[in-house]
Chain A
Amino acid sequence: MPHARKVEQRRFEQRQLEVAQEAAGTAAMTRSAYFEAVAARQLTGYFEQVREAAELSRDLAQRMAEAGNAPRLAHMREQAFYAEMTAQLARSRHRAIAAREQLVRMLGLTSVQGTLQLPERLPELPTTPAEAHDAEQTAMDRRLDVLAAARASEAFARSLGLTRATRFVDVLGAGYVNESESREERTDGYEVHLSIPVFDFGDARLARARAGYEQTLARTADIAVKARSQVRETYSAYRTAFDLARHYRDEVVPLRKRISEEALLRYNGMLIGPFELLADAREQVGAVNAAIEAQRDFWLAESDPRTAMTIGPPRWHRRLPANARVRPSHRRRRTLTD
């Protein structure tokens, strides 16, 4: 094979990889934009409820002030809180629009009206999380940048005219230089291999060529090590996001609901008043909001392990800037008669 053609072959493979990564990246970005848009819309509903609770407190305080039961100061405090919540709702509504427009751009839609119908809520969590069986091995077998590095290494050997592979070495476990099998780095029950052929260089005059080949092997090993690390990290992020979303759904939200039920019992007994009850309702909505955010974070992290296993490094910092989290204060506020 002429040298130029081999170079072209390498360039082609490199470009192929880049395109695949780009396509995967675009898909992931679009996916993210979709979940962000759905979540932002859901969260706006939350801000509406918080503002509604603040509005009720304000209205009640106003009636009390008019009836002579509370000072104007109490009414003004409730009014100030309501005003703040109104501003937050406006910001939240813009965030929902911005997230939606981001999705529109990602999808390349020309006319928004009637074409982009977002669901009311995020999809439910899967019943069980995906397990990480063979994830790292899959990355070694299928991940594009790893395969490209291995192919480049082989191509280099071929360019030197080397064809007779004497044996294979695992660039992860044993390395090229030290072929001993004692350097087991994992002890948790599975092994990951990335096998590369070792050629018989024979003549000492090929020492430079050999050094060059070793370099390609080192590069392959480096990419493979990073790939494995990324697989582990993305899986941890995935699994943590799953556990957190489930934790919010199964623990935090039901607990807050029970707290609200107890608060209502205390209200029934005139142990607390309507202002405390409304403040508690706001806190309960806050827990639901946190659950929505956790659910969204799960779906944002959901495809990363797959990307890390099959394509290349996932874009970890692709979260939309419009998604900066602003939440109303949930601290228990002073009652009117404090």
Chain B
Amino acid sequence: MSNRRRFLANAGAVVLGTAAVSRSAMAALPDAVARTGADTQPPSAPPAGQHYTPVVTLNGWTAPFRMTDGIKEFHLVAEPVVREFAPGMTARLWGYNGQSPGPTIEAVEGDRVRIFVTNRLPEHTSVHWHGLLLPSGMDGVAGLTQPHIPAGRTFVYEFELTRPGTFMYHPHSDEMVQLAMGMMGLFVVHPRNPRHHPADRDYALLLASYDIEPGSHTPRVSTMLDFNLWSWNSRVFPGIDHLVARIGERVRMGNLSMTNHPMHLHGHVFEVTCTDGGWVPKSARWPEVTVDIGVGQMRAIEFDAVAGDWAFHCHKSHHTMNAMGHGIANLVGVDQKDIARRIQKLIPDYMAMGSRGMAEMGEMQMPLPDNTLPMMTGTGPFGALEMGGMFSVLKVRDEQRPGDYTDPGWYRHPPGSLAREWDGELPAPARAAGATPETATVDVRKPGAHDHH
């Protein structure tokens, strides 16, 4: 849902940026539109200017603009926001226009844009247009190319979009804190020629990392590496919407987290067709199933969608977990039944965990600290998904109508195309010469002998 509210009714309160801006631009600010929810907004076709295929920002939205003398005007408001990471957990972040990430800015190659930035944070800020080619004085590096935008003031940026691609915006003013607090957004410049790299569906997401102590709401801004929530568009599994497709797909991914993310898509071979540096010539592309996205990089991958339910996730396995303890004792293979009974005398609600692995975490519903998601959770058509963080599902259906982004439900697998339990006879498994299975510590479930356990 969107609600419109006017900021700074008095144009006289606007403070000009260092660059000259025409007087007519300052007659009034465009409305700053804010959102309160974390649902995915359907793609919004441009109300003016050249047509393009709009992107779908997963669990996000696209900023509206108005045309003034042929210039597309946007209004970003930097402000504290409450962002739902997944049902059951909210974070107190800083963002733009009511959410983190901020609204995706979409425009067309050759457009001139004018972006008003109102600072409603408790401290100064600035906006750097990451990857865009623009005059140095519009680059948004506070102290270097412009003064900081003080709290309560509005600056305006104006530049021409010289090349198409997918970019980002984020502060360059107390940058460590403001990035850790969630201040970022996507900036998509569509090609002027609509036949250039067309896509039927175009999804956009920003990778970010947060360190929110279980039981609290605000990220710890000084954390360098030890994050516990790995997000797409400030959402974590099971809060990330599924990607729905019929045919043809482009996914644009930017990484503003503090580490690289090898993004892996099941069931497809894709190509990186665009980076924030520009289009990748066909001759230079590698077929891939995983693309590693470095810090501060943007990658657009394209593929022809194949019917099915396909996992899409960061391949760092700890990045598909929610907050968890990394220093806890490893009890895999440690029998603790009798010890657990004794511990229960001291701690009545104690339950032994970890002896058989951690899968029980994904199956059991146990009371957790306030505002804390299970480290692994989620349920699919066949049971517990045991995931968290950077994980979602690409749902491709032959019958999905163009432009229909509604969830088609779980995939119905054609007969004979689904893995199933085998209960027939088995040939003896071949083992490496000299290998003896460690039956003492590994509970081997022998086929055809279910009672032996």
Name A residues whose Cβ lies closer than 8 Å to a Cβ of B: 49, 52-53, 56, 59-60, 63-64, 67-70, 260, 262, 264-278, 281, 335-338
Instruction: Give Cα distance in the complex from A56 to B337, angstroms.
Output: 12
- Could you tell me the distance in whole angstroms from the C-beta of A195 to the nearest C-beta in chain B? 63
Which one of A69, A262, A269 has the highest number of Cβ atoms from chain B below 10 Å of its Cβ? Answer: A269
B339 touches A266 (CB 8 A): no
Q: Which of A60, A63, A268 contacts B368 (CB 8 A)?
A: A268
Known: A69-B334, A268-B368, A271-B214. A335 touches B346 (CB 8 A): no
A269 touches B329 (CB 8 A): no
A337 touches B327 (CB 8 A): yes
Instruction: Give Cα distance in the complex from A273 to B354, angstroms.
Output: 9
- Confirm or deny: B18 has a beta carbon within 8 angstroms of a beta carbon on chain A: no
Instruction: Give Cα distance in the complex from A59 to B336, angstroms.
Output: 9
**A337 CB contacts on chain B under 8 angstroms:** 327-330
The count of residues in chain B whose C-beta lies closer than 8 Å to any C-beta of chain A is 37
- Could you tell me the distance in whole angstroms from the C-beta of B368 to the nearest C-beta in chain A? 5
Instruction: Give Cα distance in the complex from A274 to B339, angstroms.
Output: 11
**A49 CB contacts on chain B under 8 angstroms:** 346
A335 touches B328 (CB 8 A): yes
Instruction: Give Cα distance in the complex from A56 to B374, angstroms.
Output: 27
- Confirm or deny: B323 has a beta carbon within 8 angstroms of a beta carbon on chain A: yes
A60 touches B329 (CB 8 A): yes
A269 touches B366 (CB 8 A): yes
Instruction: Give Cα distance in the complex from A68 to B214, angstroms.
Output: 30
B339 touches A269 (CB 8 A): no
- Could you tell me the distance in whole angstroms from the C-beta of B69 to the nearest C-beta in chain A? 56
Nearest residue (CB) in A for B346 is: A281
Q: Which of A63, A262, A281, A335 contacts B336 (CB 8 A)?
A: A63
* Secondary structure class of chain A's binding surface, majority of residues: helix
Known: A274-B331, A335-B329, A337-B329. A269 touches B346 (CB 8 A): no
A271 touches B325 (CB 8 A): yes
B327 touches A269 (CB 8 A): no
**B367 CB contacts on chain A under 8 angstroms:** 265, 268
- Could you tell me the distance in whole angstroms from the C-beta of A157 to the nearest C-beta in chain B? 71
Instruction: Give Cα distance in the complex from A267 to B353, angstroms.
Output: 9
- Could you tell me the distance in whole angstroms from the C-beta of A68 to the nearest C-beta in chain B? 8
B347 touches A270 (CB 8 A): no
Other A-B contacts than A64-B331, A274-B331, 11 sampled, CB-CB below 8 A, are A49-B346, A52-B346, A64-B330, A69-B330, A267-B353, A269-B368, A271-B328, A272-B325, A278-B346, A335-B328, A337-B327
Q: Which of A56, A265, A268 contacts B343 (CB 8 A)?
A: A56
Known: A56-B343, A69-B332, A273-B329. A264 touches B323 (CB 8 A): no
**B334 CB contacts on chain A under 8 angstroms:** 60, 63-64, 67, 69
**A338 CB contacts on chain B under 8 angstroms:** 327
Q: Which 3 A-B pairs have the closest CB atoms?
A: A273-B328, A268-B366, A273-B329
Q: Which of B323, B332, B333, B345 contacts A269 (CB 8 A)?
A: B323
- Could you tell me the distance in whole angstroms from the C-beta of A53 to the nearest C-beta in chain B? 6
B325 touches A273 (CB 8 A): yes
